[in-house]
Chain A
Amino acid sequence: MITINRRIFNMAENTQPAKHPCNPESWVENYGDSLYRYTLVRVNKPEEAEDLVQETFFAALKNKNSFRGDSSEKTWLFNILKNKIIDHYRKNKNKPLTASELSASETEEGDGFMERLFKNQGFMEGHWNADNRPGKWGQNLNDALENNEFLTILKACIKHLPQMASAVFRMKYFMEEDSRFICKELDITPSNLWVLAHRSKLQIRECLEKNWMDK
């Protein structure tokens, strides 16, 4: 019985595809730029991106024996990087807010953000305030997607989101994580998530309308 099992085990091992190589000496040259580019849009500052890439390489080097060659070196490095970025969001979440973030603060109700956009009393309660309702954006929106100036403005708008809203937004759109994962990693409830998602969208929309449509 034991011999048969061992034979099956050996067969399984023999039919496995060739292992991927691991060459730490050429990591920086081969993957430095792509890891950096991946990180750049997911954090606020270039220095943060540099640090995260460096941490990724150092952690990979330390754990290079755990690389089993089942996936490529590149996939393995990207997985380490993704975990580092999520850690970075989590750490930022616990940092005290700066003054400008406090003024546009977070999940709390009653900071005036929603009240500025929507009427908070009367028969039309919950409907747009005339001054803040969305304007018409015209027909050629798809052209904007090819326009570098537009993408630069969009990036700047994301940068101005409060920390938590920004973390939610980036995990959702740039890391393609699902809601349950985002809630778990950032330690928030689904209803916190919906509030943050909504406010991010309202804020980005308004920021684009102000800075891009008015040009």
Chain B
Amino acid sequence: MLKKMMNTLMLTCSKATQLISVKAYRKLSVSEKVRLRLHLLTCSACKAFNLQSTFIDKALEKLGAHAAHHHHLPEERKASIQNHITKNL
């Protein structure tokens, strides 16, 4: 009985982290939000996961935006593509 009540109210860490990962992809429902917030109040590991997840999102955004600034398409490849274009124009 107690366990059943706990289960409807309290998320496991596995469920809580799932919601944290998924919230970048879809809006959480109100009940999901409430239960997640409640879990984060009492669980320091998931709180850390939440912070780290947000940080990883930010880092990925940065990686995507500033990707490989100093990289160049190798000259050989450029020459062979250029050659093909000139020939087939």
Taking Cβ atoms with an 8 Å cutoff, the residues of A that contact B are: 24-25, 27-29, 32-33, 35-38, 40-41, 50, 53-54, 57-58, 61, 114, 117-118, 123, 125-128, 133-137, 141, 144-145, 150-151, 154-155, 169, 172-174, 179, 190, 193-194, 197-198, 200-202, 204-205, 208
Partner of A201, one of B21, B71, B74: B21
Main SS at interface, chain A: helix
Cα distance, A29 to B63, chains bound together (Å): 25
Closest residue of chain B to A36, judged by CB?
Answer: B73
Q: Is the CB of B45 within 8 A of A118?
A: no
A151-B59, A201-B56 given; A36·B85 CB < 8 A: no
Number of A-B contacts (CB under 8 A): 141
Cα distance, A25 to B86, chains bound together (Å): 6
Chain B's interface size range is 35 or more
Closest 6 CB pairs of A and B: A126-B12, A41-B67, A36-B73, A198-B21, A133-B45, A201-B21
Instruction: Pick 17 A–B contacts, CB within 8 A, sort by A.
Output: A28-B85, A32-B78, A50-B77, A58-B81, A58-B84, A137-B48, A137-B52, A141-B55, A150-B59, A151-B59, A151-B63, A174-B63, A194-B22, A197-B21, A198-B17, A201-B20, A204-B56
Closest residue of chain B to A62, judged by CB?
Answer: B88
A41-B67, A118-B14 given; A205·B53 CB < 8 A: yes
